[in-house]
């Protein structure tokens, strides 16, 4: 009988000690603005990827020595402000895929890649 009491006391002690060891899960509430920015970011990246997937844009990037897959990875790595600037410039370009629009998009992508440090097209004099 005495060993049962000791065993129960030992199990109760182990249970109490193990309860204090457990870490509490930390969770935070995000506001609507943060959620909308996340959703908006994904939609913006998808829209830019669709432009980069065009044959004319892909050919222009390859002609300048830029891998289109690497350009897509770099677009995904842009911060929110850079991504919005790129998307705004894409929105302001005329519709229809004119040659001037393609050259503008390619220049913008190359400029961003240059600023990020992925490529070194614009040699310093």
Residue 45, domain member (yes or no): yes
Provide the domain limits for residue 88. Answer: 35-116
Residue 4, domain member (yes or no): no
d(C-alpha 55, C-alpha 103), whole Å: 13
pTM (two decimals): 0.45
Residue 92 has a pLDDT of 66
Residue 63, domain member (yes or no): yes
**75: its two tokens:** 């677009």
pLDDT digits (tens, 9 = 90+) for 25-83: 667 777 777 766 666 778 888 888 888 888 887 887 788 888 888 888 888 888 877 88
Residue 125, domain member (yes or no): no
The conformation of residue 95, written as its DSSP 8-state character, comes to T
Residue 21, domain member (yes or no): no
Residue 104, domain member (yes or no): yes
Counting the structural domains of the chain, the total is 1
Residue 51, domain member (yes or no): yes
Residue 30, domain member (yes or no): no
């Amino acid at each position: 009988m005495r060993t049962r009491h000791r065993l129960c006391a030992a199990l109760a002690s182990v249970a109490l000690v193990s309860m204090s060891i457990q870490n509490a899960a930390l969770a935070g509430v995000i506001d609507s603005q943060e959620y909308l920015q996340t959703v908006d970011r994904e939609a913006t990246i998808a829209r830019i990827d669709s432009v980069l997937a065009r044959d004319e844009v892909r050919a222009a990037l390859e002609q300048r020595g830029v891998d289109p897959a690497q350009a897509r990875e770099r677009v995904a790595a842009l911060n929110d402000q850079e991504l919005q600037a790129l998307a705004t410039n894409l929105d302001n370009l005329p519709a229809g895929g004119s040659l001037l629009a393609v050259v503008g998009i390619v220049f913008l992508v190359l400029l961003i890649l240059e600023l990020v440090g992925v490529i070194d097209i614009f040699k310093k004099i």
